[in-house]
Amino acid sequence: MWVFGHLGIGSKLAAPFSRRLPYGWVLVGTLLPDLIDKPLYYAAAAITGRRGAEIGLISCTRTFGHTALFLFALAYVAFLRKSKVFAALTIGVATHLVLDGFQDYWIIRVLHESVDGVSSLRLAALWPVFSDHFGNFPYASAAEHLRDSFRSITGVGEAVGAAILGWDYWKNGKRFMPPRWLRRRARI
């Protein structure tokens, strides 16, 4: 899934658990694993000129940010610091992993399409406990990945997510406004 799918659907999945948490940080959390892992993979692919398993440990766009270790670290910090920001990030990251898991299930079990028959999220989420590597990724660039993504369930997820975001904005426009102190500084 890409930006709109994770933002729209993820915000709705997180809603029952994040009522008293900062909404903007929940949205950041829904994107955080991809904000960490996608640039990491594409930078490694661009620098080395290789792709997938040829790169080494960072062999796909689901690596460190998609691990249960990362999710539990965020939850631990939220618990220790009693931080609503880290709690919101944790809930957002959890929805991200749920949506990626659903996408993998759909692609592997329903469409019977897979690079190696194994969920890259399962390999990432259980790393380093049950797996010593991440999934294999066949794309050399974000453009190639984006082009191929919209032929499967990803395109549907993006459309649904964009519709949810549009509906939320129409119904609750103030929720999407920057805080008052920022509007004063930026003269919005």
Look at residue 111 in the predicted model and tell me its pLDDT: 62
Look at residue 44 in the predicted model and tell me its pLDDT: 86
Look at residue 63 in the predicted model and tell me its pLDDT: 85
Mean pLDDT, each 10-residue run in order, the chain (188 residues): 88 91 92 92 84 75 88 97 95 94 76 58 74 70 70 79 87 66 57
Range of the structural domain that residue 142 is part of? 3-186
Look at residue 188 in the predicted model and tell me its pLDDT: 42
Number of domains the chain contains: 1
pTM for the full predicted model: 0.80
Residues contacting 176, CB < 8 A, separation 6+: 168, 169
Look at residue 77 in the predicted model and tell me its pLDDT: 97
